[in-house]
Amino acid sequence: MDNKNKSSFGERIASSGAFVSVAASLICIVLGLALGLIALAIINVEHAWNDGLMVIITSGLKSPRNMGTVLANAAPLIMTGLSVGFAFKTGLFNIGAAGQYTLGAFGALYCAIVWQLPWYLCLLAAMVLGALWGAIPGLFKAYLNINEVITAIMFNWIGLYLVNDIMYGKGKSPMYDISTTKTFSLRKAAPDSMIPSWGMSDYFGKLQSVTIAIFIAIFFAIVVYVVLSRTTFGYELKACGFNKHAAQYAGINDKRNIVLSMTIAGALAGVGAGLYYLSTVAEWNPQVSTALPAMGFNGISAALLACSNPLGTIFSSLFISYITVGGTKLSTQYYTKEIADVITALIIYLCAFSLLFKNKIRAALMGKARRIQVGKGGDD
C-alpha cells in the first residue's frame, strides 16, 4: 500500500463514526472494569481478583445454564435499550421505558392467562399497550410543550400502580394466583402462550426460559437500524432531533414526529416486557412490585454504552446482562451481589466521557495519518 493510500485509509478510519464509537465504548468498558477492580479491592483486597472480578468475567462461560440466563435477560434489555436509544436519536429522553415496559407486561400476561391467545398475539398486545403509554408523553411534549421527562416519570408510577391494582383485583383477579401471591404461571395456565424454544433450551442446560426471544430482539434491532439510517421517515425523525426549527423550515411536521417517536419507543419497551414474561423468565408479583422494573432503567445504560446505535445495543445489552449474571455468582462471603451493578454503573458513568474519548481517538488517528504522509512524502 503506498503512502497516499495509507494516509487516506487512516483518515477514513478516523472519520468513521462507527469505528470511533466502538473504540470509545471499549475504552469505557476497560476503564470501568479497572475501577471495578479497585472497588472490589477496597471492600476485600485479598479476594478482589480471583473471587471478585474474575468470577464476574468468567461465570457466564462456565456453564451452559449461565449463558442461557445471559441470553434470556439480554432479550428484553435489547428492547428497552432500543426504546431509549430510538428516542435519543430523535432528540427525546424516554425515561418512561419502565412504565411502558410495565404496560407491556400487563398486555402480554392478560392475553395469555385470561384469553389464552397465542404468544405472537400476546406480544402484539404488549407492543400496543407500550405504544399507547409512550404516546402520552409525546402528545404532552408536542402540543403542550411539557418536558417528556416529567410526564414520563409521572406515568411510570401511574402505570405501575394501575397494573398492580388490576392484576391483584383484591385477590380475585383471573390473573392472580393467591397460593403463590403472583400471576398464574404460564407453564401451567397458558403453555400455548409461551414463546417457543425451538430446541434452544437443549443447548443451555435445559433452561426453559431460553427461547427465540433473543432472535426476535435482534430482528427488531435490525429493523430500527434500517428505519433510522435508510428511510426518509427515519431521516425526518432525526432531523427533528437535531434541530426542530430547521426541520419545521424544511416542511417536516415536528409535532407528528415527536408523537410517533415516543409511540415507537413505547412499543419497543412493551415488546421487551412481552419477551421477558412470555419466556417465563419470571412471574409478575402485583403485591410486592412497588418498584418500577429495573429493566426499563437498564435500557438507558444499554443505549448509552452503545451510543444509541441500534446494532450496538445488541452487544451492549449482552455485555450488561453478562456482567449482571456474573455478579450473582459472587460469593456472599466476600461481596454482595450488588457489586456487579456498581461496576456496570462505573462503566455507564464513563460513557458520559465518550465524546471526549471519541475526539481523542479521532485526533490520534488523524495525527498518525498525517505523520505517515509527511514522513514518507519524500519518497513520492
SS3 state at 183: strand
Mean pLDDT (the chain) is 88
Domain assignment of residue 236, yes or no:
yes
Whether 37 and 148 map to the same domain: the answer is no
Instruction: Judge whether 50 lies within some domain.
Output: no
SS3 at position 177: strand
pLDDT (tens digit per residue) in 175-189 = 999 998 899 999 999
pLDDT in tens, 91-123: 999 999 999 999 999 999 999 999 999 999 999
| Residue appearing with cell numbers 426549527 | 245
Residues 360 and 308 in one domain: no
Residues 120 and 257 in one domain: yes
Residue 13 has a pLDDT of: 55
CA distance 90 to 57: 34
8 band by pLDDT with thresholds 50, 70 and 90: low
Q: CATH number, domain at 149? A: 1.10.3470
Whether residues 374 and 276 fall in one domain: no
Residue 55 lies in a domain: no
Q: How many CB atoms lie within 10 A of CB 80?
A: 37
Domain contains 81 = yes
Task: Locate 214 and state its grid cell.
Answer: 433473543
- pLDDT above 60 (res 7): no
Report the interhelical angle of 97-113 vs 119-144 (nearest 10°). 150
Task: Say what the alpha-carbon torsion angle 119, 125, 130, 135 is, to the nearest 10 degrees.
Answer: 150
pLDDT 10s digits, 120-161: 999 999 999 999 999 999 999 999 999 999 999 999 999 999
Q: How confident is the model at residue 228 (pLDDT cuts 50, 70, 90)?
A: very high
Please write down the HEC assignment for all residues of 284-339: CCCCCCCCCCHHHHHHHHHHHHCCCCHHHHHHHHHHHHHHHHHHHCCCCCCCCCCH
Is the model's pLDDT at 5 over the cut of 60? no
pLDDT in tens, 192-203: 999 999 999 989
H-type alpha helices, 16-118: 17-43, 54-62, 64-89, 97-113
pLDDT above 80 (res 293): yes
Asked whether residue 58 is assigned to any structural domain, the reply reads: no
**How much is the pLDDT for 176?**
94
| pLDDT band per the 50, 70, 90 thresholds, residue 374 | low
191: which 3 cell numbers?
A: 403453555
Kindly state whether residue 51 falls inside one of the protein's structural domains. no
Confidence of residue 21 (pLDDT cuts 50, 70, 90): confident
pLDDT tens column, 298-333: 999 899 888 899 999 999 999 999 998 988 888 888
- Please check whether residue 89 is in contact with residue 237, taking contact to mean a CB–CB distance below 8 angstroms: yes
Does 56 map to a domain?
no
One domain for residues 82 and 196: yes
Please report whether residue 315 resides in a domain: yes
pLDDT of residue 285: 87
Give the count of beta carbons closer than 10 Å to the beta carbon of residue 166. 14
Same domain, 18 and 114: no
Q: How many separate domains does the chain show?
A: 2
d(CA 340, CA 326): 7
Task: Give the whole-angstrom CA distance, residue 146 versus residue 155.
Answer: 13
Check whether residue 129 and residue 180 sit in a common domain: yes
Condensed to tens digits (0 to 9), the pLDDT of residues 37-82 reads 999 999 889 989 988 989 888 988 889 999 999 999 999 999 999 9
Same domain, residue pair 9 and 140:
no
283 shares a domain with 244: yes
Domain shared by 286 and 361, yes or no:
no
Say whether both 88 and 117 belong to one domain. yes
What is the helix, strand, coil percentage profile of the chain, to 5?
75, 0, 25
For 373, the domain range is 1-44+335-380
Is 267 or 306 the better-scoring residue by pLDDT?
267
Q: Let me know whether 33 and 68 are in one domain.
A: no
Q: What is the pLDDT of residue 32?
A: 87
Q: How far apart are the first and last CA of the chain?
A: 13
